[in-house]
Amino acid sequence: MQAKEAAEKLGITQRMLRHYENEGLIEIDRSENGYRRYSESDLRRAGRIRDFIATGFSTREIKSMSACLSDEGAGPCEGGVIKMQEKLEHIERLQADLDARKQAVLDRIEELKQGLAAEPLEL
């Protein structure tokens, strides 16, 4: 199938498919006229890449997990669980940082409100 149909089937843009290819995450056959031809295996691989990106992995990180992208790696793959646990720990650290920042903003808003309430109104 050609790129347009593949992108539609995956729910991504053709540009994203080209990006996966440019990053070395996927290798696509070409027809005699130069059009990209996606096999069912290519679609499964691209779907896995899309899913990893959606969970916060960079293309560099995904490339290091290439064994998890092929049909042979469709099940548990070497290092995959470890990489996913590391990503989860990273997300949890980011979440804790965001929670702390949110609380600091809420505290500051409360201080400002109390300051405004304490000031007498001038007429």
Q: Is pLDDT above 70 for 2?
A: yes
65 in the same domain as 5: yes
40 in the same domain as 97: no
121 or 40: which leads in pLDDT:
40
| Average pLDDT, integer, range 75-83 | 73
What is the pLDDT of the chain when averaged over all its residues? 89
How far is the C-alpha of 102 from the C-alpha of 86, rounded, in Å? 24
55 in the same domain as 5: yes
Count of domains forming the chain: 2
pLDDT digits (tens, 9 = 90+) for 18-74: 999 999 999 999 999 999 999 999 999 999 999 999 989 999 999 888 878 877 655
According to DSSP H, which parts of 1-79 are helical? Answer: 3-10, 14-22, 40-54, 59-63
Among 14, 30, 15, 55, CA closest to 68: 55
For position 76, what pLDDT does the model report?
61
Q: Is pLDDT above 80 for 80?
A: no
40 in the same domain as 95: no
85 in the same domain as 57: no
64 in the same domain as 54: yes
Range of the domain at 91: 79-123
